[in-house]
Structure 1
């Protein structure tokens, strides 16, 4: 056995659905308003995970205009042994206003995990977080949260199960099976498993905040009745104290913050068995800024070892329900601490596949590799939810340096190119080459958006000779410093002072009314804006992110 550190997938990698086929492990995670959508990671040892592919990469779902934190939620991976097909269920959350969570759930299949995946087949709009279960008798079932909108009824609703025809997607009669197995409430993300003659129903509970957890019930028949885990508490959480929160559709539950844990918000998990018969749950977690309850990195993927006790109930190997920052995995394994670093010089007409774009897809209409440079054509402003020209990667550490070299000549004050930090269209930090206000020279300035309010640091302005600069952002626990140089061998100079960017976090942004903010995560990016003629191009020589954990 080897001891590894959580998270196993740092940065925005929430709602993990874990699957083993043979010696290979896969995890699918939510991507919200980001394209390509649905990240699928791969591992052979449970410790080291690499982004393998995306399930939605050809414009199958339109995410333009998506409000934070809607979009693509809670993908669920499964494997049908009888047909040898991989299946993926997911939902597209389109609207959250007025607590009317309008979601469309879909399924896709593939012969290989890398695809090609079939065109998404519509399942239902009853709620969100669908999952598939392939029973031993060849029948298939879908489980989902039925979203409750009536006044006076327990929110967010019932967990429902129905038989489903595959591959056609026709759903049978829905069966309401539970509103939860503990008093934490806010149950969602149902997942079915079968073990020793029982159907086990794994649920996320307690909301997406500090009371989050994983709870479980079981039944002899798939439609129930389901009996709750006799402890009456989650089997995994970061906040093991009892909480009564029935009827609360969701909440941050800041009172449940655990000052003795390095990891918070542990919940929404899925179960996997190793070839040797050991059991693990992959689940989401967060790492707040020191001394604060703000989580810039969003919800990350963690791992806990589990066991079945003598009564046939699933529990953590130490008998507690407190998520741990360390976990033992089989074999002699060493985690690659530099795996999340990026150093892309855009060689061979290729850019790193970890680059993602908010709201819309990547196409040669606006991004391309040429002669060892990434060319980004400017389009809408960074406030746009339609077509911002942003190439971004997930922030995976609370301590890192982001660096690039950009060449750009603006012909209009609406043309810019540069580097920055991004949460969503209302919340970002942008260090850009732009025109001086008198339209005579190219200058370097900082532009910031905080909850939709624009701030231009025009007092801190530097003239850029030859329209070219190397830029560096030094990020440390929510604080950022900006540096620049105009000669490769020159000394770095600081631009402005220290910028407080702690608000670029799940709790610091302005999400939908009724939400605590968002639950997506911070990204680093290079990009360009052209609200003039959509003709200017930012030319980037490299892109690097070096973590300093």
Structure 2
């Protein structure tokens, strides 16, 4: 028997939506304020997943000015066997202030999972988390959360379903509200429709995105409902299986639902796939808090559970429980070859790694490329890292509680507003930056540190080191919420700053939108440059390594 180890996609990989086409599995995940948008992963065994592309990578969305944790939410991946087209539905959350949650939902399609994808087709602005269902009769349906803002009404809203015109966009019939009778945890969202035998099954996320999260299910003989609840009256997958009644409560945290007996927390928001062998699995999001805390720096990751259907036609976990596990039985008869370490080694030989993402703005040749100096990644400095407009940042997802991020940077600043280096990043208000800059007092390039903590600028004025060479190697060692900063000018690494508390670079530690509990994105590692002077400076990075320790 083979075993799958969770999480199958560590680091920021939330809201997984899975499909199988022939013998290949694909998962799409949320990306929020990061570009390119909508990660697409591929696997042959459900255990090892490779990032193969992004769906929105050609300027289809403008994420400048996006507040945490808005942006691109909950992509839903589907495949229409009648037309052999891949479909992606997604929400662009443009405002969360006042809990208004203004979100526009779109669909795109492609003949190949790697695109090219169509221009976005507008679907609705009624809410978020859209999912497309392709029925056997050729009709298509859209399920989504209808967001509610009025006092005294069901919070945060209702699941609604309507027939949708995929060629021209828009809803062709009336919205049908689905009674929330099959959830007591409330915060129903992420609806997805599946059909098996004579039943339509409606899968939802419930309990909010925090510690009370779970996956619930209902079924109906009619795609538009009404849907009867699972006989247990509880989630079919969760990391906190004790009963929670929070219907009408918009709270997404539910810290009281933390399960001290489980490594995995926040299990919920799942999607369903059948293997070629007739087995069923459910990828879902999860989190792993730092030991002794309720802080989750790696954000919401993707895990998977093995499922099965009962004799009376209900879906449940294969072991008969509803408690999500860290290890899962693999596909019968299919060997699992090795495991992905998720380490990164990029020496910029001809291009840069697909894993690099940029907050708020698009990656464009004019500010980042490997062509101006072959063998190096050149980053032209732009806005301060407090900016949500044009920060010059190239970042990769943190995927482990212990790792080192290392680079070598050549940089010749001539003004204190020109900087380049390496760092840890959550969003524009929360980051740590080990960097080179110019000192007027020393009339030389120096190494120093700048930090942003919930919007506060923290300058390490007592840490200055004169850089005598053209290039300097830099390293950050991250270990369970603390960071050691190092440099190497000769043969040996020198410790620059030790034991900085960066545990706040986590979903619960940052200052998200008012009324929200921080964010739900994740920690990233980055290299980048700033030029708030003449916009004429650039930094050349020789390599970029992320190594687990």
For the aligned pair, the TM-score class normalised by the smaller chain equals over 0.9
The 5 Å alignment of 1:93-492 reads 93-171=93-171, 172-179=173-180, 181-330=182-331, 331-334=333-336, 336-348=338-350, 350-369=351-370, 370-438=373-441, 440-487=443-490, 490-492=491-493
- Per-residue deviation, 1:439: 5.6
Equivalent residues of 1:413, 1:439 under 8 A apart: no
1:137-189 deviation line (CA, Å, top 9, x unaligned): 01000000000011001101110000011221130211101235121000000
Counterpart of 2:271 in 1: which secondary structure?
strand
Question: Bigger shift: 433-442 or 327-336?
Answer: 327-336
The count of aligned residue pairs is: 545
* Counterparts of 1:533 and 1:229, CA distance in 2: 63
- Per-residue deviation, 1:249: 1.6
- Per-residue deviation, 1:507: 0.2
The 5 Å alignment of 1:488-503 reads 490-503=491-504
1:174-223 deviation line (CA, Å, top 9, x unaligned): 11012351210000000000012000000000001000000000001011
1:38-61 deviation line (CA, Å, top 9, x unaligned): 000000111110001100000001
Counterpart of 1:98 in 2: which secondary structure?
helix
Counterpart of 1:466 in 2: which secondary structure?
coil
1:216-275 deviation line (CA, Å, top 9, x unaligned): 000010111110111010000000000111111232111100011011000000000001
* Counterparts of 1:437 and 1:426, CA distance in 2: 27
Structure 1 unmatched ranges of 5 or more? none
Equivalent residues of 2:383, 2:531 under 8 A apart: yes
The 5 Å alignment of 1:13-162 reads 13-162=13-162
Question: Bigger shift: 245-254 or 292-301?
Answer: 245-254
**TM-score scaled to structure 1, two decimals?**
0.98
* Counterparts of 2:335 and 2:407, CA distance in 1: 33
* Counterparts of 2:413 and 2:181, CA distance in 1: 57
Question: Bigger shift: 373-382 or 334-343?
Answer: 334-343
* Counterparts of 1:53 and 1:436, CA distance in 2: 41
* Counterparts of 1:184 and 1:497, CA distance in 2: 43
* Counterparts of 1:223 and 1:500, CA distance in 2: 51
1:110-132 deviation line (CA, Å, top 9, x unaligned): 11111000000100000000000
* Counterparts of 1:205 and 1:222, CA distance in 2: 20
Equivalent residues of 1:445, 1:460 under 8 A apart: yes
Question: Bigger shift: 176-185 or 276-285?
Answer: 176-185
- Per-residue deviation, 1:290: 0.6
- Does residue 516 of the first structure (1) align with residue 517 of the second (2)? yes
**TM-score scaled to structure 2, two decimals?**
0.98
- Per-residue deviation, 1:65: 0.1
Counterpart of 2:166 in 1: which secondary structure?
coil
Alignment RMSD, CA only?
1.0
